[in-house]
Amino acid sequence: MIDTENLTKKFGDSIAVDSVTLHVGRGEVFGFLGPNGAGKTTTVRMLACLVSKSSGSATIGDYEIADRADQPKIRKMIGLLTENVGLYEELSAYDNLDFYGRYYKLGEQERKERIQYLLKLLELWDRKDSAAGTFSKGMKQKLAIARALVHDPEVLFLDEPTANLDPEASKTVRDFILELKKEKRTIFLNTHLLDEAERVCDRVAILKTRLITTGSPQDLRRSLTARKVKIQLQRLDGAVISSVKEMGYQVGEATANSIVVTLKDPEVDNPAILRAVQKAGGNVVFVSEVGSSLEDVYLKLVRED
């Protein structure tokens, strides 16, 4: 659905986005991660045909972002939530959405149905006649998301959708993204909140002007370090530790009743380790995998870059 090939944007001598090549599939929730100034917003603005590219290419569906004839078609098939919500604050919530529905040339009945559906889904229907300027930050953000969806776009670009929101409002927005995910809508999510990306994204890319890596959150976590398991025992003694080491496994953190073991393939190695532990007199309470977080991966890769 979204394809870029060496997409680059320069502002004078400064390179904001450097040769980014990626593919986002139809119905995928794709997270774009990176520090402030990494080029995330500039990339989205190029894909949304708001700023021109310097070089490279990009397509949304079958349309090329640099083709003037294709640009109106791209704008019609995408929804965009920018960092600045950009609402008409003197207009009511309903009238804000009605204005944009008219802009996208939706018929009257279709506008009414879409506006009612979105405001109810985002729990704003009771405030449909209130001026947007009277809304809290969280309510404005939800209304801006509704505006981005009023024309039922195939692709949705969300630029920091939970930035500056309180925890409750952030959860509401995340839950709504998960609802959109069920509709198999293609979502391109710019965020620096790694927990948010881990919860909602199928795949993520880490950007720092250039693309550092791409993959599922799970694959990226596993790429950072070897897999580890924590074996909780009633009591840990030297005989158990020795038995594990004799099998050739690396023993990490150990406490009075637990041991962390580094494994190549826990699904294959665990049964043999547990048999050895029990043979050495250890009484196993439970076993759990100890994994790196997406934050660990992100910080390591960004710092190395």
Q: What is the pLDDT of residue 291?
A: 64
Residue 131 DSSP one-character state: B
pTM of the model: 0.76
User: How far apart are the C-alpha atoms of 110 and 36, rounded to whole Å?
Assistant: 39
Q: What is the 3-state secondary structure (H, E, C) of 5-57?
A: EEEEEEECCEEEEEEEEEEECCCCEEEEECCCCCCHHHHHHHHCCCCCCCEEE
Strand-strand pairing, 203-208 and 29-33: parallel
Q: What is the pLDDT of residue 252?
A: 76
Q: What is the pLDDT of residue 46?
A: 96
**Which domains occur in the chain, in start order?**
2-215 (3.40.50.300), 222-291 (3.30.70.1150)
Torsion angles phi and psi, residue 216, rounded to 5: -70, 150
- Which residues does the chain have with pLDDT short of 70? 164, 221-226, 291-296, 304-305
pLDDT per position as a tens digit, 205-219: 989 899 988 888 877
Q: What is the pLDDT of residue 223?
A: 65
Q: What is the pLDDT of residue 114?
A: 94
Q: What is the pLDDT of residue 70?
A: 95
Q: Give me the residue label for tokens 């207009």.
A: 91
